[in-house]
């Protein structure tokens, strides 16, 4: 009965999410409950388990954007041999213990596909980065009792998660990429570390993980041509007014300076004229020219007497 109710809850959540996905991200984030989806995947996986250490594909809902694989192992086998499920996308090394302890452990691996809006609506990359691959969830449950959630503690080599969708042939650059660890229940990334060859991410245990690549911030767009033309128009008008004012002031100053120079020249010439001589006439001294510059001439044209020969 628990399995049926969880599956029904998953179907209702996904159906409601598809109804809101047409541009209302806040509706999608509110409708889709990450824990309820993973609980439905867990219950479906328990229904499909047949043999220990067998890896099964967990069908969820066609077109829902979720893929899942699961396996069930004994805790002593998990400690001694680990779980090699690289075909499914993860590998658990030896020397891993469940916490709290359980005799049998169910490990569920969920992928939130990038072609749906799960990764973008439930998980957010840090500023300056974008998700480059579907976010995955590595989960563990008690398979010997109440199906409670467990944590995996690696006391030796770390757990490794493979991201098969990333490859240098598709333009993936590991030097600009970062492995992300998301908060419980989805949300923003709380830790980042370098991407390992594969490409893969080494993680401490259960949780939600992803890979993000750095994106360049686009430069601000140039101002519209109309606004730039308005700026140029104002600048040219102001420059024209300033130039005209300067020219008028310069012409007025030149005219005043020219008039003053002519006046000073006239005064200088007047002050530096030839001085007249002095002569005594009946006890008085009056100005007298030192020489006659123009000889008197008779008006009838006859030469003066002193010029007759």
As a whole number, the mean pLDDT across the chain is 76
Given the structure tokens 């990450």, which residue do they identify?
A: 34
Is 135 inside any structural domain?
yes
Q: Give Cβ neighbours of residue 160 (< 8 Å, ≥ 6 apart).
A: 90, 91, 93, 196, 198, 200, 201, 202, 203
Please tell me the total count of domains within the chain: 1
Q: What are phi and psi of 120, to 5 degrees?
A: -80, -30
Strands 123-124 and 187-194, by their bridges, are parallel
Structure tokens at 75: 């805790």
Is 159 inside any structural domain?
yes
- 298 burial (CB, 10 Å; 0-12 / 13-18 / 19+) is exposed
Domain with 91 in it: what CATH number?
A: 2.60.220
Q: Give Cβ neighbours of residue 157 (< 8 Å, ≥ 6 apart).
A: 93, 94, 95
Is 233 inside any structural domain?
no
Read off the pLDDT band of 125 (50, 70, 90).
Answer: confident
Is 5 inside any structural domain?
no
pLDDT, tens digit (0-9, with 9 covering 90-100), for 238-247: 888 888 888 8
Q: Give Cβ neighbours of residue 288 (< 8 Å, ≥ 6 apart).
A: 276, 277, 278, 279
For the question of whether the overall pTM of this predicted structure is more than 0.75, the answer is no
pLDDT, tens digit (0-9, with 9 covering 90-100), for 189-227: 888 888 888 788 999 888 899 888 888 777 777 766 555
Is 219 inside any structural domain?
no
Is 238 inside any structural domain?
no
Three-state secondary-structure class, residue 277: strand
Contact 175, 195 (CB under 8 A): no
The percent of residues above 90 in pLDDT, for the chain, comes to: 11
C-alpha–C-alpha distance, residues 89 and 66, integer Å:
14
pLDDT at position 89: 84
pLDDT, tens digit (0-9, with 9 covering 90-100), for 36-76: 888 888 889 998 988 888 889 888 765 667 889 999 999 99
Read off the pLDDT band of 168 (50, 70, 90).
Answer: confident
Range of the domain at 146: 41-214
Is 236 inside any structural domain?
no
Read off the pLDDT band of 258 (50, 70, 90).
Answer: confident
pLDDT at position 224: 65
Is 124 inside any structural domain?
yes
Q: Give Cβ neighbours of residue 44 (< 8 Å, ≥ 6 apart).
A: 3, 6, 7, 58, 59, 60, 68
pLDDT at 29 over 50: no
């Amino acid at each position: 009965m628990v399995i049926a109710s969880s599956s029904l809850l998953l179907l209702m959540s996904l159906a409601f999410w598809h109804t809101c996905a047409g541009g209302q991200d806040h509706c999608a984030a509110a409708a889709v409950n990450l824990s309820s989806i993973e609980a439905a995947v867990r219950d479906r996986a328990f229904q499909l388990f047949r043999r220990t250490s067998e890896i099964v594909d967990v069908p969820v809902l066609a077109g829902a954007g979720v893929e899942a694989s699961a396996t069930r192992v004994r805790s002593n086998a998990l400690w001694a041999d680990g779980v090699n499920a690289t075909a499914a996308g993860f590998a658990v090394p030896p020397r891993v213990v469940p916490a709290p302890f359980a005799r049998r452990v169910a490990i569920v691996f969920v992928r939130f596909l990038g072609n749906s809006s799960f990764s973008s609506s439930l998980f957010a990359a840090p500023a300056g980065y974008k998700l480059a691959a579907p976010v995955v969830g590595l989960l563990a449950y008690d398979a010997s009792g109440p199906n409670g959630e467990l944590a995996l503690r690696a006391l030796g080599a770390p757990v490794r998660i493979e991201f098969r969708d990333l490859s240098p042939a598709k333009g993936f650059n590991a030097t600009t990429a970062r492995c992300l660890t998301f908060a419980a229940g989805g949300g923003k990334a709380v830790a980042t570390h370098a991407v390992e060859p594969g490409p893969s991410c080494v993680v401490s245990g259960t949780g939600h993980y992803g890979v993000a690549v750095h994106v360049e911030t686009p430069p601000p767009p140039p101002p519209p041509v109309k606004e730039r033309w308005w700026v140029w128009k104002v600048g040219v008008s102001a420059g024209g007014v300033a130039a005209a004012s300067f020219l008028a002031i310069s012409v007025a100053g030149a005219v005043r300076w020219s008039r003053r120079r002519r006046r000073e020249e006239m005064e200088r010439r007047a002050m530096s004229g030839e001085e007249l001589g002095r002569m005594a006439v009946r006890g008085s001294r009056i100005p007298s020219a030192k020489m006659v510059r123009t000889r008197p001439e008779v008006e009838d044209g006859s030469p003066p007497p002193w010029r007759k020969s």
